[in-house]
C-alpha cells in the first residue's frame, strides 16, 4: 500500500511541476542571467570586484534583465523541453544573446549614459550567456539520456547513418518509453566508419551485420533508409535472417504521416518493402484543386482500391464523399475509419448495387458529384470462370449503368479501375473488364470525360495472394504456388491509388492509362520472401507446393497489346494508349447480345459474343467445357456455372 502511495505522490508532484513549467523556466532564467552578468564583471576585473564597480553592477542589473527577458521570451527560450535541446536551440540562444548585447549597448551607453560603465563587460556577458544558458540545457539532456541508457533496453543496430538514422537515434536516446538502446550504426559508405553521430559510432558496413550482431548481442535491427531499393533490403534481410533477431524498417516518406516522429512509424519489414518501388511524385496542387470543396462518388468504396481512394481523396478536403458498396460490413469499416481521421468531412455511406440503376439515378441527382471513381467489380479470376454470368452482369452492365447515369447528369469525369487481365484475356474476369473499357470509350461525349486506368496486382488487396500466404505460414505450411514460372506485376495499394488520382487530373477523356508496374515478379519469389520475413526458411521450415494454374490464369500477365499505340506522358510512371474505339450504336448491339446470352444462361452464346467484341479473347478450357460444341443452341452445365439474376435489357436500363 505504501508503494502505491509513493507512486501516486510522485505522479502528483510530476504533474504539478509540469503545470508550473513556465514559471520554473522563467525564474531559472533570471537566476542564470544574474549569474552570467555578475560573472562577466568578475572576469573583467580578475575576480576582484572593487567597491567602485559594485554600484554600477547593481544599477545596471535591472536594465539588463528588462532587455534580456522579453527577447528570450520572444525567441521561444521559455518554451520547449530541455531534454530535447539541439543545435537549433543553441542557435536561438545565440541570436537572443546577440540581440540583447546590441540593445543593452545602446540603452546603457546612449540612452542612460551610465558613466564609468566598462563596455567590455557586455561582450564578456554575450559569450558567457551563450555558454551558461546553452550548457545548462545540454546538461539536462545529457543527464536524461544517461538515465535512460542505464535502463534495461534491447541492444539495437541502426542501418543507415543518414538523416533518418540520426533522427531515430536521437529519439531513442531521449524517449524513456522506448525499449531500444542504439549501440551503433551500420552504413555502406565506408568513409563514415568510426565517426560518431549523436554519440553513437558507425561500426561497419552491411556485410559486417552478422559479426556485429553476434559481438554486441544485438536483439533488434532498425533499417533507417527510406529510399532503399528492393535489392538493398533483400541484402540486409539476407544478412540478418540467420541471426533470428527483430527487424524493423522506417517506411518511405510517401507512406508516412506528416509531422509524426520517425520512431513512431517504425514497423516490421513487409514483403511490399522488397519491391523497391520509387516514391510517387504527384501534382498535389492540381489534385487538390480538383477535389477541394467538391463532392466525389466512389463505387466499390468498401473494397481495397475503393477504400484507399476514399482515404486519399479525403485528405484533399472535399465537401462530401459518397461511399457506395453492396457490402455493409466493409462500408461500415471505412466509414468509422474516415470519421475518426477526418471529423469535418461529410460522409454519405450508401449500401447499394451498381445494377440498381434507379438507386444510382437518385443518388447522382441528389448529390451531384463532380467526379465518379468506379472501383466496383468482381475480380477473382477462378471464381468468375464458374460464375461467368454474374461476372458479365456486374462488370459490364454495372459499369454501363454507372457510366450512362454519369452522362445523363453531366458529371465532369468518370475514372474506371481496369486490370492488366483485360489484355489478351484468357478468363471471363479479364474479358469483362476489356468490354467495360470499350463501353465507356463508346459513351465518350462532350460533357463527361471517361477514363480507364489499367494496372496489375496490388499487394494486400482483398483476394490477393499475400493474405493467403500469410494464413498458410501461420498454419505451418505448406504455402501453395500455382506454377514455378508464374509471374505477376505487383505494386502497393497506396501507390496505385496515388497514380489513379494523378490520371484523373491528366485525362482529357477517351484514354486508357497504363501504370508503370516495373518488372514482373515470380510468385514463388514472393512466397519465399514472405516465409523469410516470418522467421522461417523456405523448404526447411515451410514447404512450398505447386498446385498448377487455376482456371483462366496465365503464366505471365501483360499490360498492353502489340497493336495498341502506347505513349509516354508528363509523368514517368503513367503511360497512355489507344485502346480502340467503339460507336455507341455498336455498344448497344453488343450489350443486347450479351443480355440475351445471360438471360438464357447460354454459355456458348456468351463466349461467342465475347469473342466477337474482343477478338483476342482466348476462353479457358473450363469455360469451353461448359459449352456443348456440337449443339450450339443448348446450354450445358447449369450446376457448374451458377445462374445469376436476369439482366435488364438495354432499353430497360437506359
Residue tagged active-site, from 239, 248, 407, 421 = 421
Cα separation, 314 vs 648, in Å, equals: 35
Cell of 193: 566508419
Concatenated DSSP letters of 222-253: EE--TT--HHHHHHHHHHHHTTT-EEEEPPPG
Cα separation, 398 vs 395, in Å, equals: 6
Strand pairing partners for 609? none
> Where do we find the cell 572576469?
43
Cell of 361: 439515378
CB 397 within 8 A of CB 591: yes
What number of CA atoms fall less than 13 Å from residue 431's CA on the CB side?
Answer: 29
Angle between helix axes 120-149 and 87-106 (nearest 10 degrees) is 160
Concatenated DSSP letters of 80-134: S-GGG--HHHHHHHHHHHHHHHHHHHHIIIIIS--TT--THHHHHHHHHHHHHHH
Cα separation, 64 vs 30, in Å, equals: 10
User: Exposed (0-12), middle (13-18) or buried (19+): which is 192, by Cβ within 10 Å?
Assistant: middle
Closest CA to 378 of 369, 368, 387: 387
Q: Is 193 in the active site?
A: no
Closest CA to 245 of 275, 266, 276, 268: 268
Catalytic residue numbers, as ranges: 421
Amino acid at each position: 500500500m505504501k508503494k502505491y502511495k509513493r507512486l501516486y505522490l510522485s505522479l502528483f508532484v510530476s504533474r504539478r511541476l509540469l503545470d508550473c513549467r513556465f514559471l520554473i523556466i522563467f525564474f531559472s532564467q533570471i537566476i542564470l542571467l544574474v549569474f552570467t552578468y555578475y560573472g562577466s564583471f568578475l572576469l573583467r576585473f580578475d575576480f576582484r570586484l572593487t567597491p567602485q564597480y559594485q554600484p554600477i553592477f547593481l544599477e545596471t542589473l535591472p536594465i539588463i534583465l528588462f532587455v534580456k527577458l522579453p527577447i528570450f521570451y520572444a525567441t521561444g527560450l521559455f518554451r520547449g523541453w530541455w531534454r530535447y535541446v539541439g543545435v537549433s536551440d543553441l542557435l536561438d540562444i545565440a541570436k537572443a544573446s546577440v540581440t540583447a548585447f546590441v540593445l543593452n549597448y545602446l540603452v546603457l551607453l546612449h540612452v542612460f549614459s551610465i558613466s564609468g560603465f566598462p563596455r567590455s563587460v557586455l561582450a564578456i556577458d554575450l559569450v558567457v550567456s551563450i555558454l551558461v544558458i546553452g550548457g545548462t540545457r545540454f546538461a539536462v539532456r545529457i543527464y536524461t539520456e544517461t538515465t535512460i541508457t542505464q535502463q534495461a533496453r534491447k541492444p539495437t543496430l541502426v542501418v543507415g547513418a543518414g538523416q533518418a538514422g540520426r533522427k531515430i537515434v536521437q529519439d531513442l536516446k531521449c524517449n524513456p518509453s522506448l525499449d531500444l538502446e542504439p549501440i551503433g550504426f551500420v552504413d555502406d559508405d565506408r568513409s563514415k566508419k568510426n565517426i560518431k553521430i549523436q554519440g553513437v559510432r558507425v561500426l561497419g558496413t552491411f556485410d559486417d551485420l552478422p559479426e556485429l550482431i553476434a559481438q554486441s548481442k544485438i536483439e533488434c535491427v532498425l533499417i533507417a533508409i527510406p529510399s532503399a531499393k528492393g535489392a538493398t533490403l533483400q541484402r540486409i534481410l539476407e544478412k540478418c535472417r540467420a541471426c533470428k533477431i527483430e527487424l524493423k524498417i522506417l517506411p518511405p516518406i510517401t507512406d508516412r504521416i506528416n509531422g509524426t516522429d520517425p520512431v513512431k512509424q517504425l514497423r516490421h519489414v513487409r514483403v511490399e518493402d522488397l519491391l523497391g518501388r520509387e516514391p510517387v511524385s504527384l501534382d498535389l496542387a492540381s489534385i487538390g484543386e480538383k477535389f477541394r470543396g467538391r463532392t466525389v462518388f466512389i463505387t466499390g468504396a468498401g473494397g481495397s482500391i475503393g477504400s484507399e481512394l476514399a482515404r486519399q481523396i479525403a485528405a484533399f478536403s472535399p465537401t462530401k464523399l459518397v461511399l457506395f458498396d453492396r457490402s455493409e460490413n466493409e462500408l461500415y469499416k471505412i466509414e468509422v475509419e474516415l470519421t475518426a481521421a477526418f471529423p469535418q468531412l461529410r460522409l454519405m455511406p450508401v449500401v447499394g448495387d451498381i445494377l440498381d440503376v434507379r438507386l444510382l439515378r437518385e443518388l447522382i441527382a441528389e448529390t451531384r458529384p463532380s467526379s465518379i471513381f468506379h472501383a466496383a467489380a468482381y475480380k477473382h479470376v477462378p471464381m468468375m470462370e464458374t460464375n461467368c454470368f454474374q461476372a458479365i452482369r456486374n462488370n459490364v452492365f454495372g459499369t454501363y449503368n454507372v457510366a450512362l447515369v454519369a452522362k445523363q447528369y453531366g458529371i465532369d469525369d468518370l475514372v474506371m479501375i481496369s486490370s492488366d487481365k483485360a489484355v489478351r484475356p484468357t478468363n471471363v474476369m479479364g474479358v469483362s473488364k476489356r468490354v467495360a473499357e470499350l463501353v465507356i470509350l463508346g459513351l465518350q461525349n462532350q460533357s463527361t470525360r471517361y477514363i480507364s486506368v489499367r494496372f496489375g496486382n496490388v499487394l494486400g488487396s482483398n483476394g490477393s495472394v499475400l493474405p493467403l500466404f500469410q494464413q498458410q505460414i501461420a498454419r505451418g505450411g505448406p504455402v501453395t504456388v500455382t506454377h514455378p514460372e508464374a509471374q505477376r506485376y505487383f505494386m502497393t495499394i497506396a501507390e496505385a491509388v496515388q497514380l489513379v488520382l494523378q490520371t484523373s487530373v491528366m485525362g482529357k477523356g477517351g484514354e486508357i492509362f497504363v501504370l508503370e508496374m516495373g518488372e514482373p515478379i515470380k510468385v514463388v519469389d514472393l512466397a519465399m520472401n514472405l516465409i523469410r520475413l516470418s522467421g522461417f526458411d523456405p523448404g526447411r521450415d515451410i514447404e512450398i507446393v505447386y498446385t498448377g494454374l487455376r482456371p483462366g490464369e496465365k503464366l505471365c500477365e501483360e499490360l498492353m497489346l502489340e497493336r495498341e499505340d502506347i505513349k509516354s506522358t508528363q509523368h514517368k510512371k503513367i503511360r497512355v494508349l489507344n485502346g480502340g474505339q467503339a460507336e455507341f450504336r455498336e455498344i448497344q448491339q453488343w450489350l443486347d447480345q450479351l443480355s440475351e446470352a445471360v438471360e438464357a444462361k447460354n454459355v456458348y452464346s456468351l463466349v461467342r459474343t465475347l469473342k466477337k467484341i474482343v477478338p483476342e479473347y482466348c476462353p479457358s478450357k473450363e469455360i469451353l467445357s461448359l459449352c456443348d460444341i456440337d449443339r450450339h443452341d443448348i446450354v450445358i452445365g447449369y450446376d457448374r456455372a451458377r445462374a445469376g439474376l436476369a439482366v435488364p435489357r438495354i432499353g430497360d436500363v437506359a
